[in-house]
Amino acid sequence: MKKALPIFTLLLLMAATIQAQEKKPDWMRWHYLSEEEMYDTSRGMNFVETDPPTGEPRFVAEFEPMQGVMIRYPLGIPTSLVAQLADNCHVYCIVSSSYQNQAQNDFQSAGVNMDNLTFVNAQSDSYWVRDYGPWYIFEDRQPAIIDNIYNRPRPNDDNMSGVFANFWSIPMYGMNLQHTGGNMMEDGRGHGVSDNLVLQENGNNEANVRQKMRDYLGIDPYHITIDPQGDYIAHVDCWGKYLAPDKILIAQLPSNNSHAADYDSVAAYFARTNCCWGYPYHVYRVQEPGGYTLAPYTNSLILNKTVYVPIGSNGTYNQQALQVYQEAMPGYEIIGVANNTWNGWENTDALHCRTRGVMDFNMLFVDHREVLFGEQAWQDSIPVVSKFIAYSNEPLKTDSLLVYYSIDGGTYQVAHMTATGNPDEYVGYIKGYQGESEINYYVFGADESGHRYTQPVFADLDPHHFIMEAHQPSGNLIVTPDTLWFEHNGDEQTFTIENQTNATVQINAITEEGGYLLLDTPNLPYNLQVGESISVGFLFSFPLKTNRASDDYVSSLIKVQTSIGEKLVTAMISKQGMVNLVYQNEMYFNDPTLVIESSFFNKSVFVPTIRVFSIAEKDTDYLNIETNPTPPFDLEFDGDEAFMFVSLKDFAKGYVQTSIEIETDYGIFEIAVHINEDILSVTELTAETKLYPNPTTGQFTVEGANVAKVEVYNLVGQKVHEAEGKVINIDAAYWHKGIYLVNIIEQNGAVVTKKLVVR
């Protein structure tokens, strides 16, 4: 493709430039050929035509996952760039055995990661590996190579497809077309672009060209455009580039340039032509000054999540070009690459021409073809269908096949995809939107080999986007009953929400304005499908209940907020039920000498005063009860506080529980009293026991000559530890801080109860 020019060739070019309006002779297409090559019309001396692949071919795009990149030594790129590429992926360097030591020394001197570089020994004629390198495809799930007739009389270069077919041990198919890699770009989903050089080099037999591109590469449609440069090379990578299946970069010249209209014409063609996803391409324009100013910006290399952009001679244009790439490819690293070597960049020969990606043979391909875009006809849930092709042949992670979607700019939600029954095909559903909602979404997949991929590759930085058409649901959202009645604390009531519309309704929130009720409902937001109903429960949450009847109620509103509006339910709550006498409602005695002090006060909402008539033990006479003040007395709302002191009066009874009743003008409130039965049979202690240290911050010891067993209780009567022996070490480091009751049971049955303080 490109080599130093003999003098007479330069003269011919200068003459052709002067006669700009004249059609250039055909041999100008072979600029950079040697003088001998220029007159050599032989092509494909060693080419062997084969039948096309029997499986389905897929020509992988440059922006898909790459395991490596091919270069050739002697180099057409700076060694510093080789070092960058080796940090990105594996580098496969074509080199003859006579040059390999020199190449290795150059690379090591440049700091190339040699663990990420493999030499492929082969003879070559030039460093334009983009043009003569193998065209990698998948045939069904297996990698293969398509060989074509290289449009240069360079037999070593033309043999390179076979070299790499042997290197990888993969099939190679011979496609009998004269072609070149610089004049081919593809989107990975069957769309391809070349300019009309491909027709000129194949006898202008357009039907034959299209048929072979379809049979060998799976390319259909095949966009064959004019060559807007009108220059010798006629390679598409000198003026355009696929950045994604729906994005194309086209160079733009100043309006006074004689070729500006041709560039604009090609850009306009793609702006009105549908991409593989069904809508017109997003066309990005990169400004070039034209003339001899160096600006080879479309001749870049996309390698995984990095774009290497060749830098020209004008700083302003360079910066603008990098900004265009960044805008078009959010999330990618955009790197400008200068080349100040003897064979530096040229407008028609730069970084892309001298490199070629090697597809990841084990990639995961997310193929969501029926992309949702524009305005979609109303449906209550919309399916997202995608194929997931694991070329590694490892199983898919079925719990990691997902649709991420955002409704009207909200946070992303996740829909799991399930198999449709068609090969490799899964579906997930976007739900919960309204008419005129705007939805962003992308598809994600992972397989057991560790490969992951999204469509679009930009994920949430540039997702697929569609709008749901305007829609007014028919029918209604039915809530029954519309009123709930609560009489006493602990009352439970439910209502039902039923979707009688013709669309999914999203329940966003359910609230109760008074703060009297506890809610029991499914996790929100909740998508209520057509015909579906759910029950919502409420618990009257005041801590006491009384036995006094009342016809006096307070109302509260329960609000059900949904995607189609707000529904209201009235809660009627008995004021009697809201009497709130706050007190200790259980007492535990594990120590016969214990005195329990308890206080109580009025925290009612609608009861300003509670009259206390009496405080007494119910049905038994085992407790000493002292009160301050002595009943009867009044407790004012949130002001007065009364006290009660309770102790055991008889240790010999066989009971384990009694109760205390507080009689008020709003009913009787009951305190349960629990007594450890063991302490009631104690008549004497037969031996002195020890418990130390007390207080303790960790371990403590119980010791006694007649100790048989130790039981430790907290103040609510729960046993927290039990052990046997005469000397017992207990670790309390992880207990809650506070007071514990330690029952030390001796061999004769006597019990010693001691208080233990844990700090």
**Catalytic one among 89, 238, 275, 353?**
353
16: enclosing H helix or E strand:
helix 7-18
Helix (H, G, I), strand (E, B) or coil at 671: strand
Q: How far apart are CA 217 and CA 206, in angstroms?
A: 16
Sign of CA dihedral 64, 66, 71, 76: positive
Assess whether the previous peptide bond of 481 is cis (omega < 30° from 0): yes
d(CA 526, CA 533): 11
The full DSSP string for 127-169 is S-HHHHS-EEEEETTEEEEEEEEESSS-HHHHTHHHHHHHHHT
Closest CA to 53 of 219, 217, 221, 176: 217
| CB proximity list for 746: less than 8 A, separation 6 or greater | 685, 686, 687, 689, 704, 706, 707, 708, 752
CA Rg value for the chain = 42
C-beta separation of 369 from 422 below 8 A: no
Closest alpha carbon to 582 in 550, 549, 542, 553: 542
Four-point Cα dihedral 453, 459, 463, 464, nearest 10? 10
> Who's near 103: CB < 8 A, 6+ residues apart?
73, 93, 95, 119
Whether residue 353 lies in the annotated active site: yes
Are 279 and 373 in contact by the 8 Å Cβ rule? The answer is yes
Q: Is 356 helix (H, G, I), strand (E, B) or coil?
A: strand
List the structure tokens of 643.
């006290």
Kindly state the tokens that stand for 609: 């005063």
**Which amino acids are annotated catalytic?**
353
